[in-house]
Amino acid sequence: KWFEPNSKRRKKRLMTSSDKLNLHNANVGRRVYEDLTALNCVCSGLSGSCALRTCWKRHPDLRVVAAELKKLYKKARPVVLATQTRNPTRYKITTGSGRVRKLFKKELAYFNRTPDLCEPDEITGSLGTKKRECKLRSNDAGDCRRLCCRRGFYDVTKEITYTCNCQFHFCCRVTCQVCRRSETLHICNG
C-alpha cells in the first residue's frame, strides 16, 4: 500500500514543511552513500578468460561518507517557506534571496540557523560559554579551544581540601587527615 503512487501522493500532502525538508536532507545523505558505493568485479575462467564475472557492491568507508556530508553541511542553504495563493496549506521552498527554486538533489538545507551557543540566550535558556570551566588538551567537547569560542581562557589556581590517609580502628571508628592540594582550573574569557 505504501508504494502505490496514489497513497504516496496523499501521504506527501499530509507532510509538514519540516517533514519535507527532513526527507529531502535524508535523501541527500542516501545519494551521497550510493554515489560512494563502489562496484567490484572479479573474472573467473580457464587461462584468463572471463567466462564468469562476479560483481558486488562494496560499502564506502564511513569516514569518507562523513567527510562528504560535512562538506555539504558547510554549504547548506537557508530556506524559507513561501505559501501558494491557490492553496495556502501547501508550500514551496525558496532560497533566502527570495527567488523560488527547487533544491538540488545533493544540496542540504535548513529553516533556522543553529543558535550561537557561545553567547547567552534567554529564549533557549543557554548560558553561553563565558566564564565556563574547560579542559586543557582534551579531545572532547569540553576542550578549551572549542568551548571558549576563540575568546581564549585564563588559569585560576584553587586550593582544595579533602580527607586522606584514613584509617579504620577496630569497631566503629575511622580517623582521617585533612589534606590540601592546589589545582589549576581553566576558565573561558568573558
**Residue 28 shares a structural domain with residue 101:** yes
Dist. CA 148–CA 146, nearest whole Å: 6
Q: Give Dmax (Cα) for the chain.
A: 88
H-state helical runs in the chain? 5-14, 17-36, 62-74, 144-147
Confidence (pLDDT) at 187: 93
Domain extent for 167? 133-188
> Which of 78, 110, 142 marks a domain boundary?
110
Question: Does one domain contain both 41 and 100?
Answer: yes
Q: Are residues 28 and 92 in the same domain?
A: yes
Residue 62 banded pLDDT, cuts 50, 70, 90? very high
Q: Give the integer Cα–Cα distance in Å for 162 and 158.
A: 13
Q: In the prediction, which pLDDT does 65 show?
A: 94
Do both 35 and 96 map to the same domain? yes
42, HSE (Cβ side, Cα atoms, 13 Å): 5
pTM for this entry: 0.53
How many domains does the chain divide into?
Answer: 2
67 falls within a domain = yes
